[in-house]
Amino acid sequence: MNKWQKIAFSLYLLVILLLALRAMTLIASDVQPYQMLTVGTQNLAPEYQQLIAFLNAFGGSIMLVYCLSVSILLLIPYRQSVSWASFAVPALLLAYCAASILSMWQVKSAQPPIGSAAVLALITMLAFVISRIKTKEQ
C-alpha cells in the first residue's frame, strides 16, 4: 500500500469504528430521543415501548455484524491491495450510509441524526478519492 492508500485505510477504519460506536449506543439504549418525539413513547403501552427497544437492539446487532464484515474486507484484501476490495469497502460503507439517510429522511416530526450519516458518507467518499491517487512508483 502506498501512503495515500494508508491514509484511506485510516479513514475507512474511522468510519467503521464510528458506525460500531453508534451500533453500541443502539444496543445499550432503550429508545432514541427522536423516536420518543416521533412516536410519543410516553403514551405507548409498555409492550410497544419494549418492542421499540428490541428493534433498536436488533438493528444495532445487525449494524455490528455489518461493521465486522467490512472490517474483515478492509484488514485482509484491502491491505493486500486486491483491486476489487478498493471498490467493495467504500461501496458497502456508502450503501449503509445511504440506507441510513433515506430511512431517517422519512421521519418528519423529529430531528434524527441525519448529519452524522452524511458526514460518514463524505469521509468514505474522501477516502475513496484519496485511495485512487497514484504515486510515481506505481
Q: Is residue 60 part of a domain?
A: yes
Q: Is residue 137 part of a domain?
A: no
Q: Is the pLDDT of residue 65 over 90?
A: yes
Number of domains the chain is built from? 1
What residues have CB less than 8 Å from 86, skipping those under 6 apart?
A: 5, 78, 128, 131, 132
Q: Are 4 and 131 in contact (CB under 8 A)?
A: yes
Closest-CA residue to 104 (of 118, 90, 91): 118
Place of cell 418525539: 37
Could you tell me the pTM of the whole model? 0.84
Which pLDDT band holds residue 138 (cuts at 50, 70, 90)?
Answer: low
Residue 50, pLDDT score: 83
Q: Is residue 81 part of a domain?
A: yes
Q: Return d(Cα 90, Cα 46) in angstroms, integer.
A: 40
Residue 36, pLDDT score: 73
Q: Return d(Cα 29, Cα 53) in angstroms, integer.
A: 7
Sign of CA dihedral 10, 14, 15, 20: positive
Domain that holds residue 81: 3-131
Q: Is the pLDDT of residue 79 over 80?
A: yes
Q: Is residue 45 part of a domain?
A: yes
Mean pLDDT of 29-54: 76
